[in-house]
């Protein structure tokens, strides 16, 4: 009898182990199926992590499958919910749509410093991903340990020290939109406590900073910072925001803007006249001429009209963008790593070590030999405004919120 019981017990153990193994195998297969669906959704909603938030992951522990993470797109959020709830109803769904408030406007923050560094992770030692300037409208997605995860007008997503931003509500945004605004137009300068350049400085300023005007006298504008500080700025150092947003591309103005940066040192992630990288430079040139470009060279190269893939200047026009890097080969894909702007007479201006001018013409002293092999293509922005990746201020979702009607 004891032997029979032992045999029955052994059979039950074997069946239980088999059941567990089968369940484990089924869960593993199910997890793989869910992961494949999530990967497909990511390729649609967040193919470029620089401009779309997607931290969705899968957990498969103790026989329990969970889908968790964060996204910033309503469409991505809804598609994940639909697929998981309809096709995998036993999986637990824990996805957050940022910002969590749900009813936040497109813009809920303003840059409060002349230049702010946006970093790849929420710590000061992290890589600088990009920079943004005073008065720029941003979308705050979340706060974490004294840092904001934000999105800029060219859709770039990165982290910034919360002290560098001011969070605003709809009423404050409406007030900012209706105020007369000015844009700083010198390479570098200051705002002052009084209408006097010898008075206490309030802060530094760089080309592209935006501030609302509260009053003025013959020589100065009185302005207000997002954190309610007041300051005075010389009138001959600024242009009207309305002028900026209504500008059309003018070749002479592009060159004039670009040359204001000559000698400015190179900084990976820089987009300001304090220090700047190659794509930050080209995007800032166009920013000061009323056009929003994508942030990085590898993004900028995807847009505009293709002009040539030959390293010659016969078909180039002033303002065309020249892209360099690793051309595609039989074994390696194309990799764009550098961008410059053509300024006429075979010359281009770019940020490489510092902002400088070089030539495509091999007979010129400022010709760079190894750039011949690195050249990939030239594209034209003019004529491509308001196409994908190239926007006028008035058509950008972020800047539209601060343009007076």
User: Pick from 328, 373, 321, 381: which is nearest to 351 by CA?
Assistant: 321
Place of tokens 């794509």: 279
Q: Which residues contact 374 (CB under 8 A, 6 or more apart)?
A: 324, 325, 326, 327, 338
Catalytic residue from among 5, 22, 197, 338 = 338
- Cα 276 to chain centroid, rounded: 15
Whether the Cβ atoms of residue 100 and residue 142 lie closer than 8 Å to each other:
yes
Annotation says 338 is catalytic:
yes
**Where do the H-state alpha helices sit in 46-71?**
none
Rounded Cα–Cα distance for residues 110 and 114 (Å): 11
> Hey, how many other C-beta atoms are within 10 angstroms of the C-beta on 312?
12
Place of tokens 């009138």: 235
Provide the angle, in degrees to the nearest 10, between the axes of the packed helices 74-87 and 2-45.
Answer: 150
Residue 163 CA: distances (Å) to CA of 109, 140, 231, 270? 12, 13, 19, 19
> Hey, how many other C-beta atoms are within 10 angstroms of the C-beta on 124?
9
Rounded Cα–Cα distance for residues 106 and 111 (Å): 15
Annotation says 45 is catalytic:
no
Q: Which residues contact 349 (CB under 8 A, 6 or more apart)?
A: 255, 258, 259, 262, 340, 341, 343, 355, 356, 357
- Asked if the peptide bond before residue 99 counts as cis, ω within 30 degrees of 0, the response is yes
Catalytic residue from among 5, 22, 209, 278 = 278
Instruction: Please work out, in degrees rounded to the nearest 5, the angle formed at the alpha carbon of residue 148 by the alpha carbons of 142 and 151.
Output: 80
Catalytic residue from among 5, 124, 209, 350 = 350
Q: Which residues are known to be catalytic? A: 278, 338, 350
């Amino acid at each position: 009898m004891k032997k029979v019981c032992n045999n029955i017990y052994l059979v039950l153990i074997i069946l239980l182990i088999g059941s567990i193994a089968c369940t484990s195998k089924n869960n593993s297969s199910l997890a793989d199926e869910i992961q494949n669906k999530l990967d497909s959704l990511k390729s649609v909603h967040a193919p470029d992590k620089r401009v779309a938030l997607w931290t969705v992951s899968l957990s498969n522990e103790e026989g329990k499958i969970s889908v968790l993470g964060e996204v910033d797109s309503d469409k991505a959020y809804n598609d994940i919910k639909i697929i998981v709830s309809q096709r995998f109803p036993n999986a637990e769904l824990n996805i957050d749509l940022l910002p969590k408030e749900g009813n936040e406007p497109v813009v809920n923050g303003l840059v409060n410093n002349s230049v702010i560094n946006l970093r790849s992770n929420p710590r000061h030692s992290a890589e600088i991903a990009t920079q943004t300037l005073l008065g720029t409208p941003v979308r705050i997605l979340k706060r974490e340990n004294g840092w904001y995860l934000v999105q800029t007008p060219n859709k770039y997503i990165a982290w910034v020290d919360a002290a560098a931003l001011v969070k605003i509500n709809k009423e404050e945004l409406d007030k900012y939109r209706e105020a007369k605004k000015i844009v700083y137009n010198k390479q570098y300068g200051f705002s002052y406590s009084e209408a006097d350049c010898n008075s206490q400085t309030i802060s530094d300023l760089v080309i592209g900073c935006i501030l609302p005007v509260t009053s003025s006298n013959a020589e100065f504008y009185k302005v207000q910072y997002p954190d309610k500080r007041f300051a005075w700025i010389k009138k001959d150092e600024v242009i009207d925001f309305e002028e900026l947003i209504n500008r059309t591309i003018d070749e002479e103005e592009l060159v004039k803007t670009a040359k204001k940066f000559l000698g400015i040192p190179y900084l990976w992630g820089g987009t300001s006249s304090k220090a700047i990288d190659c794509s930050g430079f080209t995007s800032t040139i166009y920013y000061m001429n009323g056009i929003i470009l994508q942030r990085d060279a590898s993004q900028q190269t995807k847009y505009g009209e293709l002009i040539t893939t030959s390293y010659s200047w016969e078909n180039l026009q002033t303002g065309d963008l020249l892209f360099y890097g690793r051309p595609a080969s039989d074994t390696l894909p194309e990799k764009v790593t550098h961008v410059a702007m053509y300024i006429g007479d075979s010359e281009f201006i770019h940020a490489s070590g510092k902002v400088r001018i070089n030539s495509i013409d091999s007979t010129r002293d400022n010709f760079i030999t190894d750039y011949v092999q690195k050249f990939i293509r030239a594209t034209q922005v003019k004529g491509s405004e308001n196409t994908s990746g190239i926007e006028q201020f008035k058509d950008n979702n972020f800047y539209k919120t601060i343009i007076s009607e």
